[in-house]
Chains A and B, each alone.
Chain A
Amino acid sequence: MRRIICVWLLSLMALPAFAETTLDVGYLRVDVARPPVLSNLDAIPENNGIAGAQTGLKDNLTTGKFLGQTYTLTTASVPQGDDPLAAAAQMLAETPYLILDAPAPVLLAIADLPQAQGALLFNASAGDVSLRDSDCRANLFHSLPSDAMRTDALAQVLVQKRWTDLVMIAGTFPADIAYADAIRRSLTKFGLRLSAEKTWDADADMRRTASQEIPLFTQDFGDYDALILADELHDFGRYVLYNTWQARPVVGSEGLSAQTWARVIEQWGAAQLQSRFSDQHSRDMTSLDYAAWAAIRTLGEAVTRTNATDPQTLRDYILSDAFELAGFKGRALTYRAWNGQLRQPIAIAHPRALVAQAPLEGFLHQTNELDSLGLDRPESKCEAFQ
Chain B
Amino acid sequence: MRSFLKSSIATGVLMIAASTASAGEIWVTNEKDDTVSVIDTETLEVIQTYPTGERPRGITFSKDFSLVYICASDSDAVQVMDPNTGEILHDLPSGEDPEQFVLHPDDTHLYIANEDDAITTVVNTKTHKVVAQIDVGVEPEGMAVSPDGKIAITTSETTNMAHWIDTETQELFANTLVDSRPRHAEFAKDGSEMWVSSEIGGTLTVFDTASQTELAKMSFEVPGVHADRVQPVGFEFGPDDAFAYVALGPSNHIAVVNAQTYAVEDYILVGRRVWHMAFNADKSRLFTTNGVSGDVTVVDVAARKAIKSIKVGRFPWGAAFRP
Q: CB within 8 Å of B: which residues of A? A: 3-4, 7-8, 11-12, 14-15, 59, 62-63, 66-67, 269, 272, 275-276, 279, 304-305, 324-326, 330-332, 368-370
Note all chain A residues with C-beta closer than 8 A to B171.
Answer: 11, 14
Residues of B within 8 A of A66 (CB): 137, 159, 161, 163, 172, 175
Check if A331 sits within 8 Å of B200, measured CB to CB.
yes
Bound together, the chains give a CA A105 to CA B48 distance in angstroms of: 64
**How close is B214's CB to chain A, nearest CB, in angstroms?**
14
A-facing mask of B131-169, CB < 8 A → 1, else 0?
111110111000000000000000011111101000000
Known contacts A7-B133, A59-B138, A332-B201, A325 near B159 by CB under 8 Å: no
Cβ of B180 within 8 Å of any chain A Cβ, yes or no, is yes
- A selection of 15 A-B contacts at a CB cut-off of 8 Å is A3-B130, A7-B130, A11-B133, A11-B135, A63-B161, A66-B175, A272-B115, A272-B116, A272-B157, A275-B116, A276-B116, A326-B199, A326-B200, A331-B228, A370-B228
Report which B residues bind A (CB closer than 8 A): 93, 95, 115-116, 118-119, 129-135, 137-139, 156-161, 163, 170-172, 175, 177, 179-181, 199-202, 226, 228-229, 250
Identify whether the interface residues of A are mostly helix, strand, loop, or mixed: helix
Kindly state the separation between the CA atoms of A269 and B202 in the bound complex, as whole angstroms.
16
9 shortest A-B CB distances, which residue pairs? A66-B175, A63-B159, A326-B180, A331-B228, A326-B200, A326-B181, A8-B133, A332-B200, A62-B138
In the complex, what distance in Å separates the CA atom of A36 from the CA atom of B77?
A: 48
CB of B139 within 8 A of CB of A269, answer yes
Q: Which residue of A lies closest to B121 (CB)?
A: A4
Residue in chain B with minimal CB distance to A329 = B200
Q: How far is the CB of B7 from chain A (nearest CB, A)?
A: 54
Contact A62 B119 (CB under 8 A): no
Given A62-B137, A326-B180, A304 and B160 contact (CB-CB distance below 8 Å):
yes
Asked whether, in the complex, the Cβ of A63 is within 8 Å of the Cβ of B228, the reply is no
Closest residue of chain B to A273 (Cβ to Cβ) is B158
Pairwise interchain contact A332-B175, C-beta atoms closer than 8 A: no
Pair A59/B158 contact, Cβ less than 8 Å:
yes
- B263 to chain A minimum Cβ distance, whole angstroms, is 23
Is the pair A305, B177 in contact by a Cβ cutoff of 8 Å?
yes
A324 touches B133 (CB 8 A): no
> Bound state CA distance, A288 and B200, in angstroms?
23
Candidate in B116, B118, B133, B179 with the most chain A CB atoms within 10 angstroms: B133
Cα(A93)–Cα(B271), bound, Å: 55
Partner of B160 from A11, A15, A63, A330 at Cβ < 8 Å? A63
Determine the chain A residues whose CB is within 8 A of the CB of B158 once the complex forms: 59, 62-63, 272, 326
- Which of B118, B159, B177, B180 makes the CB contact (< 8 A) with A332? B180
Q: Which chain A positions have C-beta within 8 A of B131?
A: 7
**Taking CB as reference atom, which chain A residue is nearest B273?**
A267
Bound CA–CA A14/B135 (angstroms): 10
User: In the complex, what residues of B have CB within 8 A of residue A326's CB?
Assistant: 157-158, 160, 180-181, 199-200
Is the CB–CB distance between A62 and B118 below 8 Å?
yes
- By a CB distance below 8 angstroms, the chain A residues around B118 are 62
> Within the complex, what minimum Cβ distance (angstroms) separates A178 from chain B?
29
Q: CB-nearest residue of chain B relative to A324?
A: B180
A15, B133: Cα distance in complex, Å: 13
Closest CB of chain B to A266's CB: distance in Å? 11
Report chain B residues within 8 Å CB of A15: 135, 172
Q: How far is the CB of A232 from chain B (nearest CB, A)?
A: 29
CB nearest neighbor in B for A322: B179
Q: Given the complex of chains A and B, what is the CA–CA distance between A272 and B156 in angstroms?
A: 12
- The answer to whether residues A325 and B180 also contact, given A11-B132, A66-B163 and a CB cut-off of 8 A, is yes
In Å, the complex CA distance between A279 and B138 comes to: 14
Nearest Cβ on chain B to A269's Cβ, whole angstroms: 6
Contact A11 B134 (CB under 8 A): yes
Residue of A nearest to B157 (CB): A269
Question: B170 — which chain A residues lie within 8 A by C-beta?
Answer: 11
CB A327 to nearest CB in B, in angstroms, measures: 8
CB distance from B294 to the nearest CB of A (A): 15
Nearest CB in chain B to that of A333: its residue: B200
- Report the bound CA distance from A29 to B273 in whole Å: 41
A162 to chain B, nearest CB (A): 24
CB nearest neighbor in B for A66: B175
Q: CA of A167 to CA of B237 in the docked complex: distance in angstroms?
A: 56
Extra 11 A-B pairs, beta carbons < 8 Å, given A269-B139, A269-B157, A272-B116 = A4-B133, A66-B172, A272-B115, A272-B157, A275-B116, A324-B201, A325-B180, A326-B200, A331-B229, A332-B180, A369-B226
Q: Specify which chain A residues have a CB less than 8 angstroms from the CB of B201 in the assembled complex.
A: 324, 332
State how many angstroms separate the Cβ of A289 from the closest Cβ of chain B.
16
Q: Are A272 and B139 in contact (CB under 8 A)?
A: yes
CA distance A3 to B128 in the complex (A): 13
Q: How far is the CB of A41 from chain B (nearest CB, A)?
A: 30
| Minimal beta-carbon separation of A364 from chain B (angstroms) | 9
Rounded to whole angstroms, the CA-CA distance of A330 and B227 in the bound complex is 12
Query: In the bound complex, what is the Cα–Cα distance between A8 and B117 (angstroms)?
Result: 12
Q: Tell me the smallest distance from the CB of A195 to a CB of chain B, in Å.
A: 34
Rounded to whole angstroms, the CA-CA distance of A283 and B269 in the bound complex is: 41
Most A-side CB within 10 Å, residue of B138, B175, B199:
B138
> Which residues of chain B come closer than 8 Å to A331, judged between CB atoms?
200, 228-229
Determine the chain A residues whose CB is within 8 A of the CB of B137 once the complex forms. 62-63, 66
Distance in angstroms from A5 CB to nearest chain B CB is: 9
